Amino acid sequence: MEATAAAAAAKKRRFGRPTGQGPLGSDGLDHISRLPDAILGEIISLLPTKDAARTQAVSRRWRPLWRATPLNLDVDSLSTQERKRTMFVSRILASHPGPARRLSLPFFRLRDRYAKLDGWLRSPALADLQELDFSYDIEDEEALYPLPPSALRFAPTLRVVELRTCHFPNGMAPALHFPRLARLTPYRVTISEDTLHGLLSRCSALESLLLVGNFGIRRLRINSPSLRSLGFSASSWEGYQNDCCQPYNLDSNGEVVDFLKCFPCLEKLYVIGYNFVKYYIAKCQPSHPHKVIKNIRSYDQLHPIECMELHLRKVVIRYYEGKRPDVDFAKFFVLNAKVLREMDFCSPSNRNLKWQDNQHRRLSLQNKASQVAQFTFKTTSRTRNELTRNRHTHELSMSDPFDFTSCLCSSCRFFFRL
């Protein structure tokens, strides 16, 4: 046994690999372990939680790195069994000294474990948390459990927050300040108007806001000089009141023009429609307000819209059916968008050339306002929850954050069955 161990140690030395070092490269040397701790820590922080913790077993060189790296705790990836996930979370938080980069705790089954959840959120391992993804597993749709106040202790350091299916505590907003928060997504959250407005007023660095299916909001007023992307959707428009976010019927189209005036720097406009719900998505340099619109009045040249005159370069209409309301809405941009470069009509089923030729005529493409505009008819798949399931809505670096069909990530491929 001693001779075998000595031979193995001699072999490692022969290849320039000290005993206890990591795996060899193609030339027989462990180049990865020679990287600075800061780079190795960055690599570890991007790994799934279990894989990151397992790096401690690579070698003595790697053993202290996980504990010295900001914690990336994705609870859902720890185990398929709820009991084991709970056990692993407690162990990880007890063994990691902090700080933390990300905590993902989706679909948490509360039951009688509120004290345990609150204890997790108060753990020193989560100090200086930057990203928080939290939701309850709701068994009763009529009952939304409160978000633990301890989750809001990270306000000074949070950069990304996604809250789902919970009740945001009233009265907390005035005491909260989110100086670094860049991305915020409340999804099916019960929150009062005053609390939401107070919360937004204290997000001085907010760039992307996505509000999906929330409760308790009748009037939405947003004033943010840093905001680049705005998304809004609701399961029902009943009860919503806002100059730029209220339901439009097909006979009252002046309000739609007024809505476009709210976004003078609009460069890209996405309209996504279904029979059961319609989203309006706009990209404002880039900004993505969401709105239900279907038709529009004639363009008043005496009262021009800045984006139509100077900025709007791309329009995408998904689930375009070629019916009169669709044609009227699309035709407005064909005839009036002065700097339009491309316009895509995406239909949920294959359309023959005869149908396309008829659409060319009905849309008056020969009278387009922009001589460089290109018009393309495409086929797209029909799927529910395109906006709410899309994990890239906040990704402003993407040319089209709503085109999930071109994305190869596992999330999009799973939810949209690509």
For residue 389, the surrounding DSSP H or E stretch is helix 386-389
- Same domain for 49 and 141, yes or no, is no
Domain stops at, among 36, 69, 102 = 69
- Same domain for 349 and 200, yes or no, is no
| pLDDT reported for residue 29 | 59
Q: Work out the average pLDDT over 328-342.
A: 92
Residues of the domain holding 115? 72-227
- Same domain for 57 and 119, yes or no, is no
| pLDDT reported for residue 313 | 94
Is 237 among the domain residues? no
- 59-109, pLDDT tens digit by residue? 788 888 888 888 899 998 888 888 898 899 999 999 898 899 999 998 888
Cβ atoms of residues 353 and 323 within 8 Å? no
DSSP state of 26: T
- Same domain for 305 and 264, yes or no, is yes
> What sign does the dihedral 399-404-406-409 (CA atoms) show?
positive
- Same domain for 307 and 372, yes or no, is yes
Cβ atoms of residues 95 and 67 within 8 Å? yes
Is 239 among the domain residues? no
Model-wide pTM > 0.85: no
Q: Say how many domains are in the chain.
A: 3
- Determine the Cα–Cα distance for residues 244 and 255; give it in Å rounded to an integer: 8
Is 267 among the domain residues? yes
Single out the residue of 104, 149, 108 nearest to residue 129, CA to CA. Answer: 104
- Same domain for 369 and 385, yes or no, is yes
- Same domain for 306 and 370, yes or no, is yes
Instruction: List all residues 6 or more positions away from 302 whose beta carbon is below 8 Å from its beta carbon.
Output: none
Instruction: Check residue 385 and give left, alpha or beta (phi > 0: left; psi -120 to 50: alpha).
Output: left
- Same domain for 65 and 103, yes or no, is no
| pLDDT reported for residue 222 | 83
- Look up tokens 């000294």; give the residue: 97
Is 232 among the domain residues? no
Q: What is the CATH number of the domain that holds 141?
A: 3.80.10
- Same domain for 255 and 363, yes or no, is yes
- Determine the Cα–Cα distance for residues 372 and 393; give it in Å rounded to an integer: 29
Domain stops at, among 69, 84, 108 = 69
pLDDT band at residue 111 using 50, 70 and 90 as cut-offs: confident
Is 242 among the domain residues? no
- Same domain for 209 and 99, yes or no, is yes
Is 1 among the domain residues? yes
Q: Which amino acid is present at 359?
A: Q
